[in-house]
Amino acid sequence: MHEITILGLGYVGLTMAACLAEQGIKTTGVDLDKEKIATINAGKSPIHEPRLEEFISKALKAGTFKATSDLENSLRTSNITFVTVGTPSLPDGSISLEYVRSAAESIGRTLNRTQNYHLVVVRSTVIPGTCLEVVKPILEKASGKVCGKDFGLCSNPEFLKEGSAVQDMMRPDRVVIGENDRRSGDTLQDFYHQLYEREMPRLIRTSLANAELIKYANNAFLASKVSFINSLAHLCEKTPQADVEVIAEAIGLDPRIGPLFLKAGLGWGGSCFPKDLKAILAYAREQNIELPIIDAAIRINEIQPIWSVRKAKEALGELKGKRIALLGLAFKPDTDDIREAVSIRIIQRLLQEGSFVSAYDPAAMENTRKLFGKKIVFADSAQKCIQDADCCILITEWQEFKRLTPEDFRIRMHEPILIDGRRLYNHEEYSGKLNYYAIGLGSCASTS
């Protein structure tokens, strides 16, 4: 039976730790943040993620999980360590390896004092060459041992989506193992067999560099797909009777295209797409390679949120002194994460225009308050948020917003103007009753 250390208890590390421990695998989560450790050990999740808190408290009770800042002890009792620390963007778009380096250094120093074979697995998203040229030399120097002989090294990228992280961890569509040597790959494969038993997902065993690059290729492709449909949405708006939703549905039926990530909206955000696309571009630049499709995907995404502000201005004449209600702040539903969320760009632009902003989100208000403080008003329900507003912009497609009827908007708002940035509402029902603008909808678009 494998015993696991997970270094870095953020979205990826904590979800992974809770899921492994819930499956009965002895797991220790290590983080530098003592407050976070205390929260987790009290059975609470520091992040909003469906089912995560339930998994944490079950695993704590079963004794299969604990959080600590003591790496040395944890490493001694485990045989595999997953590195899940952050790899944030630097101003030039490349990623900072500061946390990865210091994690490797700490692991190496501890390996120096242990006897048994230990496998180090880099699960953080890192540019090609990081495991071989950065992590391996640091581990070897700090431990005084030889990689491939005394300890193993793998790259094992994570593909989970915030909002469904637990489900994605329990049922991934594939496992990618980049290996330094055969024994390292065999050990990690054996661990995944223990975890998934008979429901083992498709497994890809490959080089360290391929595994690192697969993660970037994956996110760059998905983000480009969204930017493609978002730019098409603008063409639809200029084309009478056109509707980007119908076009997306039809092209999505082509198996060469597929239906997912073809939803037009206000653009992508979050901790991964923006950071990963900039990082792959920076890496390509270093290699003197141009990636114009990825470059275009980023540029399309930068202007996409401002579509909603432009529409509000069109509808109201001017935004100065107007009350704008924002529904949704998180970068996607079912998370409290606002890293690179489009809501931030929209709020900044509305404040520049001199509007009064009221906002509501089921989970992300605390994080948004840290950024904007009293510059905007936080409502404690969607209904209160739209009360007396001159215009409402739907930013995040939380399911609870779907319950708002055209009547709810009409009764409460000063002007019943609704800008649906995520195509949450049925345009035929809402456009008859409200001043309704939807992304990617040409004039008079109707199925009849």
Query: Of these, 97, 131, 272, 316, which contacts ligand NAD (CB under 6 A)?
Result: 272
Residue 218 or 387: the one with the smaller Cβ distance to ligand NAD is 218
Query: Of these, 45, 64, 74, 124, which contacts ligand NAD (CB under 6 A)?
Result: 124
User: Residue 96 interacts with ligand NAD (CB under 6 A)?
Assistant: no
> What radius of gyration, in Å, describes the C-alpha atoms of the chain?
24
User: Residue 13 interacts with ligand NAD (CB under 6 A)?
Assistant: yes
Query: Of these, 158, 336, 390, 420, which contacts ligand NAD (CB under 6 A)?
Result: 158
Nearest Cα residue to 75 out of 124, 20, 30: 30
Q: What is the DSSP letter of 45?
A: -
Residue nearest ligand NAD by beta-carbon distance:
10
Query: Of these, 17, 67, 127, 160, which contacts ligand NAD (CB under 6 A)?
Result: 160
Q: How far is the CB of 69 from ligand NAD (least distance, A)?
A: 8
User: Residue 9 interacts with ligand NAD (CB under 6 A)?
Assistant: yes
Size of the residue set binding ligand NAD (CB under 6 A): 27
Query: Of these, 57, 78, 110, 125, which contacts ligand NAD (CB under 6 A)?
Result: 125
Q: Which positions from 298 through 327 interact with ligand NAD, judged by CB under 6 A?
A: none
Residue 160 or 242: the one with the smaller Cβ distance to ligand NAD is 160
User: Residue 10 interacts with ligand NAD (CB under 6 A)?
Assistant: yes
Determine the 3-state secondary structure of 324 from DSSP.
strand
User: Residue 268 interacts with ligand NAD (CB under 6 A)?
Assistant: no
Determine the 3-state secondary structure of 314 from DSSP.
helix
Q: Which positions from 59 through 88 interact with ligand NAD, judged by CB under 6 A?
A: 84-87
- The DSSP annotation for 375-398 comes to GSEEPSSHHHHHTT-SEEEE-S--
User: Residue 367 interacts with ligand NAD (CB under 6 A)?
Assistant: no
Stretch that binds ligand NAD, among 5-13, 21-29, 384-392, 415-423 (CB under 6 A): 5-13
Q: How far is the CB of 99 from ligand NAD (least distance, A)?
A: 4
Q: What is the DSSP letter of 313?
A: H
Tell me the HSE value of 138 on the side-chain side, using a 13 A CA sphere: 19
Q: How far is the CB of 304 from ligand NAD (least distance, A)?
A: 20
How far, in Å, CA of 317 to CA of 313, rounded? 5
How far, in Å, CA of 172 to CA of 178, rounded? 17
Query: Of these, 77, 96, 102, 381, which contacts ligand NAD (CB under 6 A)?
Result: 102
Q: Is the dihedral of CA 220, 225, 226, 229 positive or negative?
A: positive
Helices assigned H by DSSP within 9-146: 11-22, 34-41, 52-62, 71-77, 98-111, 130, 136-143
Catalytic residue list: 272
How far, in Å, CA of 135 to CA of 64, rounded? 29
Distant-in-sequence contacts of 200-205, Cβ < 8 A, 24+ apart: 200/175, 201/171, 201/172, 201/173, 201/174, 201/175, 202/173, 202/174, 202/175, 203/174, 203/175, 203/177, 204/174, 204/175, 204/176, 204/177, 205/177, 205/179
Class of residue 246 by CB neighbours under 10 A (exposed 0-12, middle 13-18, buried 19+): middle
User: Residue 442 interacts with ligand NAD (CB under 6 A)?
Assistant: no
Q: Which positions from 17 through 46 interact with ligand NAD, judged by CB under 6 A?
A: 30-33, 36
Query: Of these, 155, 156, 271, 358, which contacts ligand NAD (CB under 6 A)?
Result: 271
Query: Residues 65, 56: contact at Cβ < 8 Å?
Result: yes
Q: How far is the CB of 416 from ligand NAD (least distance, A)?
A: 37
Interface residues with ligand NAD (CB under 6 A) are: 7-13, 30-33, 36, 84-87, 99, 102-103, 106, 124-125, 158, 160, 162, 271-272
